[in-house]
Amino acid sequence: MAKLAGMKKEEAVGMRCSDMFKADFCGTEECSLVRVLKEKKTFHRETVRTRPDGKKIFCLEVVTPLKDANGDVIGVIEDFRDISELKEMEEKLQESEEKFRIITSSAYDAIIMMDDNGNVSYWNKAAERMFGYKAEEVLGKHLHYLIAPKILHEAYRRGFEKFKNTGKGVAVGKTIELTALKKNGIEFPVELSLSSVKIKGNGMR
């Protein structure tokens, strides 16, 4: 705890928590001590704590009351885990996802992603214009049965299992011309560029 607060243990002993490792809610009804005395039960939350040197740390805080034989709270154990790196990774991931969303939403080409079961997991604005389906209409639904003419369904079924297992297929890594199907049933020609990625061992996508 002293290391997390950026001081020596000898300095920390005897200090008030709010002086050593303070948060915005210190001294309010949301103070850990106040909450435990009131609720008399363990709780956990994510907090931002400020060390005496001014450095802010994201913490996972678990607060547990110590009770006597009568059930009265006579002390508090606070457990802090530094999750600053995790929060930084989350922020970078959110930033990356936002950049991806901005780029793909403004693209002129239809950009579609499907999971390893063939279900739509991403559908950009250009795909909405091209095929006539809003994203909320297609997410989670089988891509090929939505936009491929029925005559191509059997060929798809034969090839998709191989693609799931190996990431290889006649269209992977190539640009080919196909016939696609709009929501209103009209067929039209398209150019398809297909790539695959393996995510956390959950098969090819």
Q: Domain with 145 in it: what CATH number?
A: 3.30.450.20
In this prediction, residue 183 carries a pLDDT of: 94
Say whether both 53 and 121 belong to one domain.
Answer: no
pLDDT-based confidence at residue 169 (cuts at 50, 70, 90): low
d(CA 183, CA 8): 67
State the pLDDT at residue 202. 56
In which band, very low, low, confident or very high, does the pLDDT at 31 lie, cut at 50, 70 and 90?
confident
Backbone dihedral angles phi then psi of residue 57, each to the nearest 5 degrees: -130, 130
Helices (H) and strands (E) in the chain, counts: 9, 7
Is residue 81 situated within a structural domain? yes
CA distances from 192 to 17, 96, 162, 179 (A): 61, 25, 19, 10
Domain count, the chain: 2
Name beta bridge partners: 178.
190
Residues 73 and 141 placed together within one structural domain of the fold: no
Residue 110's pLDDT band, with cuts at 50, 70 and 90, is very high
Q: How far apart are CA 48 and CA 40, in angstroms?
A: 23
Average pLDDT over residues 94-108: 83
Instruction: Please indicate, yes or no, whether residues 112 and 154 belong to a single structural domain of this protein.
Output: yes
User: For residue 3, what are the contacts with CB-CB under 8 A and spacing of at least 6?
Assistant: none
Residues 116 and 188 in one domain: yes
Average pLDDT, the chain: 85
CA distance 134 to 155: 27
**Integer Rg of the chain from CA:** 27
pLDDT class for 61, splitting at 50, 70, 90? very high
Q: Which residue has the tokens 């809003």?
A: 134
Is the pLDDT at 205 greater than 60? The verdict is: no
pLDDT in tens, 63-93: 999 999 988 888 889 898 999 999 888 888 8
Quote the domain boundaries for residue 168: 108-193
Residues 82 and 120 in one domain: no
**Claim to verify: residue 72 and residue 129 sit in the same structural domain:** no
Closest CA to 112 of 166, 190, 186, 168: 190
DSSP helix/strand/coil, 46: strand
